[in-house]
Amino acid sequence: MIIPINLGEKSYDIVLERGALKKAGELLGISDGRSVLVVTDSGVPEEYVNTVAKSFSKSYTFVFPEGEQSKNFETYMQICQTLCDNSFTRKDAVIAVGGGVTGDMAGFAAATYMRGIDFYNIPTTLLSQVDSSIGGKTAIDLGKIKNIIGAFHQPKKVIIDPEVLSTLPERHIKNGLAECIKMGMCLDKSLFDIFTGESYMDDIDRIIELSLRAKKSVVEQDEKEAGLRKVLNFGHTVGHAIEASVPFGELYHGECVALGMLPFAGNGVKERLTDVLGSCGLPVSCTVDRKKVREIMTHDKKSVGEKISVVKCDEIGSFYFDEMTADEIMNLI
Ligand code: GLY
C-alpha cells in the first residue's frame, strides 16, 4: 500500500508493505552511481542493515550505540565526518535504518550536510513507523533537552515493513502503541476503538495504517507546526519532562507519553484511556521528582506565570488547545 504525503514539491510516498525491507533497493529507487550512507544503531539486526546496504553499488554504513544518549552533537559530527571522508556530494543520499533516534539524527545530518542532501527512512521500531519517520522533523538533543537543535527536512521516501516488528522486544512494541493511542485519542476514534478489543496485536497493520493516515492529515495541513500539528504533542509536554527527569533509558518515550496524556484527558475519557494504557502494558502512574519535572517543562528554573501550550482531550477522536502555567500543569499531575 502506498500512502502519499502531499506537500507540494516536498511530497513523498510511504510504502507500507509486509516484506518491503527485502525490496528496499528497488522501492527506494536511488539511481546507480549515487553514494548512500546507511545510518543505523547497534540494536538493529545486522541482517536488516546488510539487506539495505547491499542493494546499492556505492554504500557505506555508520553504526552508533543504541539509545537516546547517542542523540547528541558527537554522533551527529561523526555522521557528517563519514559523509565528508567519503566525498559525499549533494547528489548523494543518507538512509536511516532504525528507530526514532536513528531517523532523527540521520535526518538532521542529511538536512545540514552541504545545506541538505536526500534522506530516506526505513523505520524498524513501531514508534518510528507510526510517528517519527514521517513529517520531516529531524533533531538532536542538547544535554537533557530533547530535540532542541533540529530542522524540518522531509524524506524522499519512507519504507515501512511491519514484519521487522517480529524481532522487536515487547517493551518497544508497547512504546510505539502509546503514540498510536495518542493519535486515536485526538484524531481517530476508530483507531482508539481497536485497543478496546481483545487482541489488538492481530490488528497491528491496521493500527499502523490508521496512525499514518491520522498523522498525514495533520502534517499536510501544517508542515512546520504553526498550529494544528501541535496536536501531535498530546501527552508530550509532561511526557518529555518525565523522560528527562529520570536516568537515560529508565522510562521509554512512549511510556512517558502514556503518563503525560493522563493529566490532559477529561473526566469523561480518563477512565477509558487508563484502561487502554493498562491493557497495552503501559504505565498509568509513576514516582517523579516534581521539582525537576517542573524545571524541565519550563526550561528555566525561574520562569513563573509563563503560559505553556497544551493539548487536551474531552472526547475520544477530538482535541482542543489550551494555555496553562507550569504550576497549573503541576496541579494536574
Ligand atoms: N512527533 C510529533 C510530530 O511529528 O509533530
Convert 10-36 into a string of H (helix), E (strand) and C (coil): HCEEEEECCCHHHHHHHHHCCCCCCEE
Interatomic CA distance for residues 76 and 72, integer angstroms: 6
Nearest CA, atom 5, ligand 1: 232
For 251-268, give one letter per residue: b (16+ CB within 10 A) or e. bbbbbbbbbbbbbbbeee
The full DSSP string for 132-160 is: ITSS-EEEEEETTEEEEEEEE---SEEEE
Q: How far apart are CA 14 and CA 155, in angstroms?
A: 10
Q: What's the CA gap between 172 and 15, in Å, rounded?
A: 22
**pTM as predicted:** 0.94
DSSP state of 234: T
225 is known as an active-site residue: yes
Gap between the Cα atoms of 164 and 44, Å rounded:
10
Please list the pLDDT of the chain residue by residue as tens digits (333 residues).
999 999 999 999 999 999 999 999 999 989 888 999 999 999 999 999 999 999 999 999 999 999 989 999 999 999 999 999 999 999 999 999 999 999 999 999 999 999 999 999 999 999 999 999 999 999 999 987 889 999 999 999 999 999 999 999 999 999 999 999 999 999 999 999 999 877 778 899 999 999 999 999 999 999 999 999 999 999 999 999 999 899 888 999 999 999 999 999 999 999 999 999 999 999 999 999 999 999 888 875 455 568 999 999 999 999 999 999 999 999 999
Distance CA 330, CA 153 (A): 34
DSSP conformational letter for 231: G
Angle at 13 between CA 10 and CA 236, to 5 degrees: 80
CA distance 19 to 97: 15
Question: Are residues 294 and 330 in contact, defined by beta-carbon separation less than 8 angstroms?
Answer: yes
**Considering 156, 240, 294, 312, which one is annotated as catalytic?**
240
pLDDT attached to residue 145: 82
User: Given 71, 121, 137, 209, which residue is catalytic?
Assistant: 137
> Is 255 noted as a catalytic residue in this protein?
no
Q: Looking at ligand 1, which residue's alpha carbon is closest to its atom 2?
A: 232
Q: Which of 181, 183, 212, 215 should be mutated for ligand 1, with most atoms under 8 A from CB?
A: 215
Residue 281 buriedness (CB in 10 A; 0-12 / 13-18 / 19+): middle
- Residue 300 one-letter amino acid: D
Report residue 98 as a C-alpha cell: 532504525
135, 103 contact by CB (below 8 A): no
Grid cell for residue 152: 524540518
Task: Report strand pairing: 12-16 vs 2-5.
Answer: antiparallel
Q: What pLDDT is attached to residue 42?
A: 97
How far apart CA 188 and CA 306 sit, in angstroms, is 32
H-state helical runs in 39-145 = 46-53, 73-85, 100-112, 126-127
Residue 280 contacts residue 192 (beta carbons within 8 Å): no
Query: Whose Cα sits closest to atom 3 in ligand 1?
Result: 232
